[in-house]
Structure 1
Amino acid sequence: MTNWLKSLPKAELHLHIEGTLEPEKMFELAARNGVDLPYESVADLRAAYDFDDLSSFLSLYFQGMEVLQTEADFYELTMDYLGRASAEGVVHVELSFDPQAHLVRGIELGTPLAGLTRAMTDAEHQHGISSALIMSFLRDRDADEALNVLEQSRPWHDWIAAVGLDSAESGNPPTKFAQVFERARQLGLPRVAHAGEEGPADYVRGALDTLDVCRVDHGVRAVDDPDLLDRLKCSQTPLTVCPLSNVYLNVVDQLVDHPLPQLIEHGLNVTINSDDPAYFGGGMLNNLAACAEAFDWQRETCRDVARNAVRAAFMGPQRRQQLLSDIDNC
């Protein structure tokens, strides 16, 4: 099954590019940029990947970002990931990045954007992998700061496919960012948001009603609200579910406990994604293979979730139709 899953054309919609920073690359960039890491070795760093919840992960995640300082750093990070993804049969990736996490370190907005976009172009030429860029706001920071970043980014809006909302969900409801997302709507930018990962089902409803999102990132807590499940079934709003991430962050105890089968059986529009693959057990191939084993998915279920992702992706109609045809023929 794994060999076939590798050959299945896959689109990834929920991927934090900073979360693709492998320990070996972190040490390489730390040495290059004169950053001291609080770990003696790659093995020591990997041993720290034992998270209690989202907050404990974010502490290490933001610590690792310190090594990302130049356009070349962001370029190499992105090229490395897109190359690995392509080798696993991923044909399209939507890269989310966190500009505020870099701005607060004195890294100008143009630095990550230049590195990311150059890598996206080069990876398409080298690997045939298409991509789109999502600029995400940190929900545990001030909404006015996010609004300022949105305005700063206007020269790059031709490259930005959508804006998103991520980071610590608990205590940071969607309503906090209503003005930011309304401004994004005025600027013609599509909107996505994390909701219903560590936050309640009501945050999913808030993302839909207050932020007017076209996709919900995670969304698994919707399973707690039958009316919301029915609404998501009727609207077919895509959910970008990250199964292994949910296990690593103790959203579920183990994969067999995940509500994915229930969401699919209820008729929701579910996609599979890796979230932060350097920290959560690998990329798209690992996530799909783990689901196939845990839930006894056959090939047609895997094709279905792959089709869902392509249909929900930020891509042109010709590319979409070609990928759907490739999935049907796999």
Structure 2
Amino acid sequence: MLQRQLGRDGPMVGAVALGTMNFVGAYGPADRDDSLRCLEDCLELGINHLDTSDVYGAGRAEELLAPFLKRHRDRIVLASKCGITRNPDRPFDNSTAYMQQALEASLRRMQVDHIDLYYVHRREAGRPIEEVMETLLRFRDQGKIGAIGLSEIAPATLERAAAVGPVAAVQSEYSLWSRQPELGVLQGCQTHGAALVAFSPVGRGVFARDLPDPADFGPDDLRAGMPRFDAENWPLNLIHLRRFAELARDHGESPASVAIAWALARAPHVIALPGSRSIAHMRENARGAALLLTQAQLDEIDRILPAGWAHGPRYGEKMSRGPEAYC
């Protein structure tokens, strides 16, 4: 697989990584054995960068990784996150005490003594990012983490954080229907030597081979609360998505492969982070790392899906509270 560097001084990893939120039912029921088989098969595809969080399934995603990591720890670049709480009165906590407790719990659940890349999952409003970076640098000096990552931050936050210490990765939603990082985060990562880890590059399934049907979303499916899938916006989005699927098929590719290839073509420091528990889907995602789109193809995609084409915001009111706004 195509390799990309995880930060200025970081390791080389597959250009396509694997997110584990799906492993614990974020988009519907999940089977543990299917998830473990997907992990094994992904490693053989060259997907060696695994991303999880202490909030996925309230820690269950990290626990699920433990037996896999026991067998393959030396082949895996492991990322996890902290900072989202289960407290409705304080949904985000970046204090040293909380983050220390969260880190120790993640290490126990995954049965490892070191996390290669550790993110602040959401920034706590009002707490200086400089203070948060000092906490993360102490974790690094203790040998419990390798590199520092920040998730869903504004370019200005990255600038302030990088003045304190190296930031290896910024994780942001980035895809053909969520292009906000082009307004500063993509450029800021290049300036500061950070990888842009683009989560949901397949648009939460909208660029999959089979388009989702919001009528089938269960009560635990995150997409049920996202405005782009509601009764007003989804029919309008569906028109564009069908055109894109036709384009991909005309070129003999799956929509997911083309969507991943598009994301990777945006800049050499972009790493695509799809989440799936299906090896068939991950093979299509991995194919995107080998697919070189011509300028004519990129122009054609841009005509069908121009910047800002998606109807509806990406998050509803509750989920929009964490990501930093910057435009």
What's the TM-score once normalised by structure 2's chain length?
0.48
Instruction: Report which of the two has the higher share of helix.
Output: 1
